[in-house]
Amino acid sequence: MKLLKTILLFVIYLITSSSLHAQNDKSIVKKKYLSPPLVKHIYTADPSAHLFNNKIYIYPSHDTATGTKEDDDGGHFNMMDYHILSMDSIGGKVTDHGIALSLKNIPWAGKQLWAPDAAYANNTYYLYFPLKDTAGVFKIGVATSKKPEGPFKAEKLPIKGSYSIDPTVFKDDDGSYYMYFGGIWGGQLQRWDNNEYHAKGALKKPNEIAIQPRIAKMTKDLKSFEKEVKEIVIKDKDGKIFTEKDNDKRFFEASWMHKYNGKYYFSYSTGDTHNICYATGNNPYGPFTYQGVILQPVEGWTNHHSIIQIKNKWYIFYHDVQLSGQTHLRNVKVTELKYNKDGTIVTINAFKL
């Protein structure tokens, strides 16, 4: 009897010890995410959110497992089409409207339909998309529809003077529209200097001035650039332009623009350090002064966001890899964004603490 009691106590000790060890071992404690994926039946990324007709529309990339070999320039991000999502309110049911635009229906298509954006004007909805042409060079195209969910019909040629990736179109208070774009590394921005293409263009060295994002004012029909493409300058609070080694703050990709209390907020991804940062200015062209991090690194290699106001609240849409755990199979999410009284943005952690 004593032997049985001793064995029982030993078993209880082992179970208790194992449980305590599991609680203290972060590698086996399940992560608690701040927000759930908006959809689970397809993989989505790079969400550009807009409020059209009092309804939330999300224009994401559509990740698929095409089997394309992974390379250093993101060849495995081989997206073939776009699915547009919508919902009546944050937390409400999300509708997938099906294929809005397919690679096979774009006359100048090569491959890789990366992060898109949308705009509304002239009783028309515009879908902007980066795509490699048949020569393997990223350009930016535009497609139109009479409905926010599409289907969209692409123009026969890319926007003249456009290049690189991640277009976002911003409407200012005076009715002017501007496109912000660019992305280094796989996005090829390092190959462009003074709007001229250099196939052997290289990334900057650590002490060199970082590559800057681009801006172009749009024509009234929103299908072309009214003025030539210009560089945007992002500085620190001492007025110093970031160098490449400042890679936790300098621009990499994923431009977004919004206004808050009359200020221009230019936000972007730092890429290889995985922050979503922001800088503010008094002009759509900048210069912009770095203010801090909006969203800390998520699970996965990339992040790409959008920020919109819905009634009296602000929200940030972003992505991670909660569903798949794989870099190229992502899922979009949304969470509330908050400002401090001085206009700075409260930094968000994508995990529950």
Determine the Cα–Cα distance for residues 120 and 220; give it in Å rounded to an integer: 11
- C-alpha distances (whole Å) from 61 to each of 99, 218, 255 are 11, 23, 15
Q: Max CA-CA distance within the chain?
A: 92
What is the three-class DSSP state of 5?
Answer: helix
- C-alpha distances (whole Å) from 213 to each of 29, 192, 219, 302 are 39, 11, 20, 18
Which one from 63, 117, 253, 320 is the annotated catalytic residue?
253
| Closest CA relative to residue 163, chosen from 118, 127, 214, 203 | 214
- C-alpha distances (whole Å) from 153 to each of 27, 103, 125, 137, 164 are 48, 11, 11, 21, 21
Q: Which residues lie below 8 Å from residue 194, measured CB to CB, with a gap of 6+?
A: none
Residue 49 tokens read as 């959110």
228 part of the active site: no
CA dihedral 135, 140, 143, 149 (to 10 degrees): 120
How many of the other CB atoms lie within 10 Å of CB of 35? 19
Phi, then psi, of 79 in degrees rounded to 5? -80, 140
How many of the other CB atoms lie within 10 Å of CB of 299? 16
- C-alpha distances (whole Å) from 303 to each of 144, 199, 332 are 27, 27, 10
What is the three-class DSSP state of 27?
Answer: coil
DSSP character for 159?
Answer: P
Which one from 46, 63, 117, 166 is the annotated catalytic residue?
46
Residue 106 tokens read as 């774009």
Q: What is the DSSP string of 11-26?
A: HHHHHHHHHHHHHH-T
- Are 169 and 128 contacting, i.e. CB atoms less than 8 angstroms apart? yes
73 part of the active site: no
Residues designated catalytic = 46, 253
